[in-house]
Amino acid sequence: MPTLEDNKHFWGNEYGWPSLGEEWSADWGGSFMQWYGTILPRIAAYVPTGTILEIACGCGRWTQYLKNVCRHLIAVDLSPRCIEVCKRRFGDEARIEFHVNDGTSLRMVPEASVDLVFSFDSLVHADASVLTAYLSELPRILKRTGVAFIHHSNLGEYARLYASINKIPWLEKWLQMFKVLEQDLHGRDFSVDARRVETWAAKYGLTCISQEIIGTTKLWLDCLSTLVQQDSPLARPNRVLRNKAFVQEKANLKALSWLYGPNN
Ligand SMILES: C[S@@+](CC[C@H](N)C(=O)[O-])C[C@H]1O[C@@H](n2cnc3c(N)ncnc32)[C@H](O)[C@@H]1O
């Protein structure tokens, strides 16, 4: 997996950011459809709110919507270039702060100050060391009633399967050729999955209240975990859903964007 330095270099120097991240929303018919059709319904119970912390904001694909559902937004990213772009893009709004961080810590965020921690389409590439570092910071920065909504890898579920397959040098390519295995693992990390996140959360004083496991037609690649403080009034036994309909949800939104997208 790429190191934090590799990430900083890639997002800061190699990646062209042709549409400031909008390019990754093409399958939804644009970020507007993805935000209103996929993301907002999953966090609607927690917004509008006071303070939102966005981890790994990139060039602001979600920042542009998050800023409208809170009074104060703190956004961090390990790439100085992304933070520069965001400052230029949203800079005239005093209630929004941007910080370059080291890729693991949230020292710039005061204690018990955050109502919603949000991260989408970034920590899917993070490994266990990054995920645990961020999870360990959340109990300090979240208010007692605060919530974290984190999109992360679920590829760890298949770590043993892939380890066995990779013992035979030609097998992975062969299984891909016959469409048994996924062609592209989309940079997801094998050291993270829903179960592990639930366990790490508990170790650091958090409770997972829901985990939506999503993916492609062949693999449950990702997970959306919602976490709260262990003494939060929102704490409850975890609810885990493998959402097969996610692929269809995406396709429907893309179809609807033709009628309802902002550029039509
Ligand atoms: C695929 S982009 C997504 C950006 C944004 N979340 C979006 O969806 O448009 C990944 C971003 O995560 C940032 N990033 C990667 N690893 C990070 C880490 N450990 N901590 C903070 N930022 C990170 C990169 O610098 C890059 O801006």
Could you tell me if the CB of 77 is within 6 A of ligand 1?
yes
Residue 184 domain-assigned (yes or no): no
Closest protein CA for atom 26 of ligand 1: 58
Residue 165 domain-assigned (yes or no): no
Could you tell me if the CB of 152 is within 6 A of ligand 1?
no
Using 70 as the pLDDT threshold, list the residues of the chain that sit under it. Answer: 1, 264
Question: pTM of the predicted model, to two decimals?
Answer: 0.95
Residue 50 domain-assigned (yes or no): yes
Could you tell me if the CB of 85 is within 6 A of ligand 1?
no
Give bridge partners of residue 70 from the DSSP assignment.
49
Give me Rg for the CA atoms of the chain: 18
CA distances from 186 to 13, 49, 73, 82, 121 (A): 20, 32, 29, 21, 11
CATH number, domain of 66, equals 3.40.50.150
Residue 77 domain-assigned (yes or no): yes
Could you tell me if the CB of 82 is within 6 A of ligand 1?
yes
What count of residues does the chain have? 264
pLDDT (tens digit per residue) in 53-85: 999 999 999 999 999 999 999 999 999 999 999
The tokens for 234 are: 């929102």
Are 56 and 86 a contacting pair, CB within 8 Å? no
Compute, in angstroms, the gap from residue 73 CA to the centroid of ligand 1. 17
Q: Which atom in ligand 1 lies closest to the alpha carbon of residue 11?
A: 25
Q: Chain centroid to CA 33: how far?
A: 17
Residue 174 domain-assigned (yes or no): no
- State residue 212's pLDDT score: 98
Choose the residue to mutate in 17, 64, 78 for probing ligand 1, maximizing ligand atoms within 8 Å of C-beta. 78
Q: Annotate 78-102 with b (16+ C-beta within 10 A) or e (fewer).
A: bbebbbebbeeebeeeeebebebbe
- State residue 107's pLDDT score: 96
Number of domains in the chain: 1
Closest protein CA for atom 27 of ligand 1: 58
Closest protein CA for atom 18 of ligand 1: 103
Could you tell me if the CB of 61 is within 6 A of ligand 1?
yes
Whole domain around residue 253: which residue ranges?
4-159+189-260
- State residue 65's pLDDT score: 98
Could you tell me if the CB of 142 is within 6 A of ligand 1?
no
Distance CA 153, CA 221 (A): 6
Residue 131 domain-assigned (yes or no): yes
Q: Which atom in ligand 1 lies closest to the alpha carbon of residue 8?
A: 25
Could you tell me if the CB of 64 is within 6 A of ligand 1?
no
E strand map for the chain:
49-55, 70-77, 96-100, 114-119, 142-153, 206-214, 222-229, 239-242
Could you tell me if the CB of 21 is within 6 A of ligand 1?
yes
CA proximity to 223, closest of 255, 202, 193:
193
Residue 14 domain-assigned (yes or no): yes
Compute, in angstroms, the gap from residue 184 CA to the centroid of ligand 1. 19
- State residue 264's pLDDT score: 64
Q: Which atom in ligand 1 lies closest to the alpha carbon of residue 54?
A: 6
Residue 28 domain-assigned (yes or no): yes
**3-state secondary structure (DSSP) of residue 51:** strand
Distance CA 245, CA 110 (A): 38
Compute, in angstroms, the gap from residue 56 CA to the centroid of ligand 1. 4
Question: Dihedral, CA atoms, 220, 225, 230, 232, nearest 10 degrees?
Answer: -140
The tokens for 233 are: 């009034």
